[in-house]
Structure 1
Amino acid sequence: MEAILIEFRKISSKPVKAIILTHFHTDHITGANAIIEAEKATSNETIEIYAHETTEDLMFGFSDTYEIGLSRGVRMLGSLIPKIDNFRTGAGIGPELLINTDSELIIPKPTITYVRHKSFCVAGVEFELIHTPGETNDQTTVWLPKLQTALPGDNFYKTFPNLYTIRGSPARSAKQWYRSLDRVRELKAEYLVGSHTRPVIGKEVVAGTLLIYRDAIKYVHDQTLRLLNKGYTATEIIQVLRLPDKVRDHPHLQEHYGTVAWSIRGIFTNYLGWFSGDPKDLHPMTDKERASRLVRLVRRSRFSNTSAALTILREAQSSHKRSMKKYKKMGRHIIADDKWALELAEYLRDINAVKGSHANTAKQIRISSLRALGSEEISPNGRSYYLTYAAELETGLSLRRVKSVRAFVINSSSVRTVLGMLSSKVNGLECQCKNYSIGLDYSDIKESYLVTLRNSVCDVFSPIPHDTALDAHLKTTMSTYKSMMAEEKDLDMEVSLGNVEILQGSVRIYKNFLDCFDSVNST
């Protein structure tokens, strides 16, 4: 900060009257003391420090994990990597973090705080502080209305957002983040000044950049939600989720800091916690145990004339048989052997490595190992999970809600809730190049809604803004519309009966719009 002050004094000799902390992260607070000490040399005036009401608690709450956070943070930001050309590529959102394991940090305490949105005037400068939780829960956007300038802290920088930081912290809420960016968009700024990368200049450029940035976050959030509800694990979602081309290629969304894969894991964890849903992950083998068994398997495979897949299958059989043998003799399974058998059988399934009778053998090993693990599980929750999963494999048992139950939920929900369901039903990249603005009027409740699709992201607004150019505009009743979304009534039939009126566009346009989504009454 001392070096920055030297440069600052080259363009202004005016005294510093206030400091604004946009959030509690170390790189945004520890420079404040240098400013305060420099000003003391020329003035006895107190410099007020502005921040959100939660910032101080978060500053010191961070101390709970400070030791491991520092170690992982130094690794993540490369503070100790030698500065060699073509070797060290910076810290993602800046050249380098000038903090390491021997840094002594002085943390300033805020003196003036706010809650949601508050206006101030200091030294003739009018500014507003707006609570916009995103990268942190205390994130503040500073709005300078006379200069038409927004400073969004770390909610925006020229890289894909860091929805989960590998230095370690709870995953950030993607939903909070894109909603906060919507608040910044409402300011209609001429200048957007992020904390780490160059300003964005021009009202239209700022609006377009913020729009695609929030769309990127919402797309990853909504598609992760869509796929986890279909039963995908986080790893499986990462394998299939791809950004729309326009989003992927945007210069502000390159993965120089945050990544799509880490974001997916963070979102998955926020909704479902640490458990993947795969029963082998309930009580996973230790890395040491797995490594030891792999070494023994590789050693034995050197003397085998069978394929790698059959070698793995025989190892799974052998491991499970040892467990079953002990059960028959002692009434207890060898849990480690059943875990190993289950893992190996799942490897064969994952890569579709065996066919016919061998595939059936692998499946039977999975079923029997799950039952063995269930029988040894003390927790009723874990026991039931193992045994139910085994029944699903053996009988094809489905745990999905039946269509009539989903229809009941749709018909019992508000129109806003039903329309909100569309966000996590967008059919991936199917309509990434199509834009729709659909108007929906409900005559019985006297409400109107705008549903948009852009960059494979669906948004819902009410009422319909007056200046919206609609591709299609329908008028009906709430009950008729919900019955159609529940697939109990047919759109064409309701139009012919006069229960749905086409005010603008056509039925075909509306159907094309719906084709971009999975059915609301589907898993």
Structure 2
Amino acid sequence: MHSPEDQVDFSNADKGWKRSLEPCIIASSVDPSRTVWNNDAYKFIVDNDCPEQYANSSLWRQSQLCTRQGLYAVIDPADHDDCGIYQVRGLDISNMSFIETISTNGIVVIDPLTSYECAQQALILYQTERPGKTIKALIYTHSHADHFAGAVAVTEAAGAQGIEHLPIYAPDGFLEHAVSENVYAGNAMARRALYMYGESLEPESDGSGQIGTGLGMATSTGVSGIVAPTITISATTEAEKPVLVDDLQIYFQVTPGTEAPSEMNFHFPQYKATCMAENATHTLHNIQTLRGAVVRDARVWSRYIDEAIVLYGQNSDVVFASHHWPTFGNSEILTFLAQQRDLYAYLHNETLRQLNAGKTGLEIAEEFKLPDSLEKLWCARGYYGSVSHNVKAIYDRYMGWFDNNPAHLWEHPPVQAAHRYVECMGGIEKVIGLGVKFREAGDLRFAVTLLNHAVFADQSNSTAAQELSATYKILGYGAENATWRNFYLTGARELTDGITKALNVMSPESYLALSMEQLVDTMAIRINGPAASEACFTIDVMVIDRSDGYHMNLSNSTLTHHSIAYQEAPLVSDTPASLTIWPTFQQFVDLVDGERQDLSGIATSGDLTVWETLSSLLTSYDTGFAIVTPEEP
């Protein structure tokens, strides 16, 4: 690995600084007494050397880079005919970028952060430096919430254009994947993300708490939502046919299946600048994120980076992304992108080579080593993704969860297995003692295996919980990977202090961006199947302000649905549904998200008790379900 004296990253991270947000503490727009972002809480990382007893020195260095905050000129207008490229960094886990049009006093905004409040402050920071610029367009690089969920701040700032007329560009499939991740599986992902990002951990001045995520410091916790894109980019822009925003030329490169299922890079030839979205950052990224998501394709990821080199490499003097800091200089860019390309290609190819030799994902991950030429690079270190869990993800993409050993085909779930292991090993006190013995011998991994069995066999045993918590802390303090650290330390905390509930990922207003199909899908997912075994009915929804019809059928404990022709009230039909309702789209959204409890004020025809039955079958999710302890019976 590079020596600690290597200062290139620090120089690039500081280059172009214009101003900072002082203090860098952002309050909630809903409850001003609540803080949604506090970068100042991490000043101890910048001011101090790594406390070796509490943190990995390589991760500490990465966090020192990620704590930098403020407005930065990626391309300074003073060097480019009074137009430039700016980024706001350190006001969320992601960056918000501003591309100025060449001669029309406008800007294109890229990736409006995770929350309204942080995006609003980023806009103010930019506008203070560059007043009088008109927002001409908004671009989402991909379908993860930290790159779109603060969009309302941008549409508000667009003024008269506003949400109705502002062009919003996104890659093909954006809304589908944003919905599937943040709405369909949103509750589970939010709870798991609390672990991954250390959301319940405090940044402690001695370095024993949360010290970042490897990709940024944390995720903001303000108001989040989805503003639907208005322009879909479904193909890479052809040579000599750039997309124009006023006089700003943009070449889009669609990269589906890379860091997100729906993602795109883009090139600004007038600036000789390329945005790599989240496909090339200063860390090894995730092939499958630990909070949960569809497995990404490392092979495709590598090939799209290679394509970016071919398309834009020779005409780029700066490469920037939606996380971290830019890379400056053409030769440096070509080297950096080639390293990132080879990193993901090697992970893919070597995993497949060993897979085909008969090894399981667990076995491959245990022995997998990057080539020395990659291993030594700061930008290939596993601060966010890791070689270990990425290799397992690649195996899973091709082979699934099963390793083909029949012993693993029908295993007991954790609680039942724990009781049997504890009985076989002579009782819970014996298991706890063995766990402590293995910890003291330095085998932390087997220690947590034993102590985890003890906790799941007897949740009331405080000694088991305390010893497992202590072992998790040791693993966390030693981890170079920030997300592993956060998982271990959050698990340690919840074992002794109890569960922290996750925040809702999306605001109720977010549902307005969904289609009818997606809205009804969210209902279908929430149906309590066992409780619905006796229910059988149909509901037709006629959305009066959109002239859309939708049919829902509940049978065999399953809610299915499809579109139908719209019919005005009163209903004329030989085969009416059990219930037909005529809501506005807003009213139906309110029914789905729980803002409206009944059908009062909505025209209906048929059996009103059907809706009551449907509502009673919808699951209300617990945002604080157990992870490191058994679920309460």
Matched, 1:6 2:133: no
- Partner letter of residue 335 of structure 2? G
**In the alignment, which of 318, 327, 349 is matched to residue 191 of structure 1?**
318
Which of 106, 118, 121 lines up with 2:225 in the alignment? Answer: 106
Residue 57 of structure 1 is matched in structure 2 by 176
3-state SS, counterpart of residue 153 of structure 2: helix
In the alignment, is residue 129 of structure 1 matched against residue 252 of structure 2? yes
Structure number with larger C-alpha Rg: 1
> 2:217 is matched with which residue?
95
2:150–2:223 CA contact under 8 A, matched in 1: no
Cα distance 1:73–1:43, how it changes in 2: closer, same or farther (>3 A)?
closer
Report the alpha carbon displacement of residue 140 of structure 1 after superposing the two structures with TM. 0.7
Deviation at 1:41, TM superposition (A): 6.9
Amino acid at match of 2:171: H
Matched, 1:83 2:203: yes
Quick one: distance in 2 between partners of 1:112 and 1:158? 30
Question: TM (normalized to structure 1)?
Answer: 0.55
Deviations 1:398-428, CA, capped at 9 Å, x for gaps: xxxxxxxxxxxxxxxxxxxxxxxxxxxxxxx
Distance 2:233 2:413 in 1: 48
Please say if 1:182 is aligned against 2:301. no
Q: In structure 1, give the amino acid aligned to 2:227.
A: P
Which secondary structure state, in structure 1, belongs to the residue aligned with residue 425 of structure 2? helix
- Unpaired runs of at least 5, structure 1: 304-523
2-side partners of 1:235 and 1:117: how far apart? Answer: 37
Does the 8 A contact of 2:156 with 2:163 survive in 1?
no
Amino acid across the alignment from 1:23: H
| Residue type at the aligned position of 1:120 | V
For residues 64-116 of structure 1, the C-alpha deviation after alignment (integer angstroms, 9 at most, x for no partner) is 101101111122112221122212111221121003xxx54221111111211
AA aligned opposite 1:227: Q
Deviation at 1:58, TM superposition (A): 1.6
2:137 maps to which residue?
Answer: 18
Residues 289 and 61 (structure 1), Cα distance of their counterparts in 2 relative to 1, 3 Å cut: closer
3-state SS of the aligned residue for 2:280? Answer: coil
The number of equivalent residue pairs is 300
Q: C-alpha deviations, 1:160-188, integer Å up to 9, x for none? A: 11111011011111111001111111111
The answer to whether 1:158 aligns with 2:285 is no
Can you give the 5+ residue segments of structure 2 that lack an aligned partner in the other structure? 1-118, 431-633
Larger RCO (CA under 8 A, 6+ residues apart): 2
Q: Would you say 1:211 and 2:330 are equivalent positions?
A: no
**What is the TM-score normalised by the length of structure 2?**
0.46
Contact 1:79 1:98 in 2 (8 A): no
Q: d(CA) in 1 for partners of 2:368 and 2:227?
A: 42
Is the 1:158–1:251 Cα contact (8 Å) retained in structure 2? Answer: yes
Distance 2:333 2:250 in 1: 19
Shift of 1:294: 2.1
Distance 1:301 1:94, change over 3 A: closer
Matches of 2:226 and 2:250 in 1, distance apart? 24
* RMSD, matched Cα: 2.1
Deviation of 1:216 (Å): 1.1
CA distance in 1 between counterparts of 2:255 and 2:299 reads 12
Q: Distance in 2 between matches of 1:290 and 1:78?
A: 29
Matched residue type, 1:263: N
User: Which protein is richer in helix relative to its size?
Assistant: 1
Structure 1 ranges of 4+ moved more than 6 A: 41-45, 300-303
Secondary structure of the residue aligned to 1:135 is coil
- Does the Cα contact within 8 Å between 2:281 and 2:323 map onto a contact in 1? yes
Q: 2:297 maps to which residue? A: 173
- 1:251 Cα deviation from its structure 2 partner: 1.1
Q: CA deviation at 1:301?
A: 13
Supply the AA of the counterpart residue of 1:215.
D
Match of 1:242 in 2: 369
1:74 maps to which residue? 194
State whether structure 2 residue 380 is matched by structure 1 residue 271: no
Deviations 1:271-291 (A, max 9, x none): 001101222111113323332
Supply the distance in 1 between the matched residues of 2:216 and 2:126 (Cα, whole angstroms).
19
